Amino acid sequence: MLVACSGGADSLALAAATAFEAPRAGLCAGLVTVDHGLQDGSAERAAAVAALGYELGLDPVEVIRVDVGRSGGPEAAARTARYAALDAAATALDAHVLLGHTLDDQAETVLLGLGRGSGPRSIAGMAAADGCYLRPFLRLRRATTAAACSALGLEAWDDPHNADPAFRRARLRHEVLPLLEDVLQGGVAEALARTADLLRDDLDALDTLADQQASAVAGQPSTPVDHLEVASVAGLPRALRTRVVRGWVATFGAAPLSAERTAALDALITGWHGQGPIELPGGVAVRRASGRLEAYPTTSRE
């Protein structure tokens, strides 16, 4: 396993805990730190984190320098570059990656999802286990990791971006959540994290039911069919129907759909009045003809 460590209190506490627990569990544990190159002295900080990893007894230790693009804004671009580097490290070493996200991070993620209005999956926050990524601290408060570093004599790095009001997450952390805690008399972070857990359970159940329904009406993803009978899905609850249709178009290379595109596709089933084809990101279009939805490639790519 690899600990993704920035040098902040959360990931530093995770690195120390992993270095202590891994050998007792008979596991090998290393550390990877990503240098985004966005601040003066980032290379030196990355080298210091790597040195600490060796001091803790973690091995291997890797420093990965990334080039951060601009797509989606600075926060999203840095995240994309970071996860691409972590994905590559996990694949190269056939390892799980431990992330230091805490309950406070989960609460912030839920609020960001609410603000974007991007659907229930974003409000469900982060999973404790997601592919090769594990988040063992997701039920701990940020104050706990800071206290652990202090008790162990580990000097954590405070990323100035975490206090920069130019970043949405920073404002949520320092302005919005404290205000909510004051207005609602405490317990907000825990309540948001609890809501995420409950919602994720519901969404996972819906996804399982949708997969079963999709197999019955649209075939297996390995052998996709180019049409979907409207009558086979029209009577399903909307939550299942839209999942089946999104999964069906995904087999033809359609990229993840926005709420607007999903609603337009659903209208071909439930609100049919002769409207034209719906073009989807990924070079796929869907039209309704003779009581069925038909998917076909387009020349446009979004």
Do 35 and 175 lie in one domain? The reply is yes
Rg (CA), the chain: 23
138 in helix, strand or coil? coil
Do 160 and 259 lie in one domain? The reply is no
Q: Please give the Cα distance from 200 to 117 (Å, whole number).
A: 16
Which amino acid is residue 260, in one-letter code? E
Structurally, how many domains does the chain consist of? 2
Do 174 and 223 lie in one domain? The reply is no
Cβ count near 119 (within 10 Å): 14
Do 224 and 97 lie in one domain? The reply is no
Do 9 and 148 lie in one domain? The reply is yes
Q: Please give the Cα distance from 101 to 190 (Å, whole number).
A: 14
The edge-to-edge listing of strands for the beta sheet with 133-134 is 61-65, 30-35, 2-4, 97-98, 133-134, 129-130
In a domain, 281, yes or no: yes
Q: Give the model's pLDDT for residue 72.
A: 77
In a domain, 289, yes or no: yes
Report which DSSP code applies to 228.
E
pLDDT by 10s per residue, the chain, length 302: 999 999 999 999 999 999 999 999 999 999 999 999 888 888 999 999 999 999 999 999 999 999 888 887 888 888 999 999 999 999 999 999 999 999 999 999 999 999 887 778 889 999 999 999 999 999 999 999 999 999 999 999 888 888 888 888 899 999 999 999 999 999 999 999 999 999 999 999 999 999 898 888 766 655 667 889 999 999 999 999 999 999 999 988 888 888 889 999 999 999 999 999 999 999 999 999 999 999 998 865 44
Show the domain range for 121. Answer: 2-183
Q: Please give the Cα distance from 228 to 31 (Å, whole number).
A: 48
> Hey, what are 1's tokens?
């396993």
Do 141 and 8 lie in one domain? The reply is yes
Q: How far is CA 76 from CA 83, 106, 168, 169, in A?
A: 11, 17, 11, 11
Do 166 and 277 lie in one domain? The reply is no
CATH number assigned to the domain comprising residue 168: 3.40.50.620
Q: How far is CA 120 from CA 55, 110, 196, in A?
A: 42, 10, 9
CATH number assigned to the domain comprising residue 226: 3.30.465.60
Do 245 and 119 lie in one domain? The reply is no
Do 174 and 284 lie in one domain? The reply is no
Residue 63 sits at φ, ψ, to 5 deg, of -110, 125
Do 263 and 176 lie in one domain? The reply is no
Q: Please give the Cα distance from 61 to 30 (Å, whole number).
A: 6
In a domain, 188, yes or no: no
Identify any residues that bridge with 152 across adjacent strands, giving them in sequence order.
none
In a domain, 213, yes or no: no
Q: Give the model's pLDDT for residue 224.
A: 64
Do 268 and 126 lie in one domain? The reply is no
Q: Give the model's pLDDT for residue 301.
A: 45
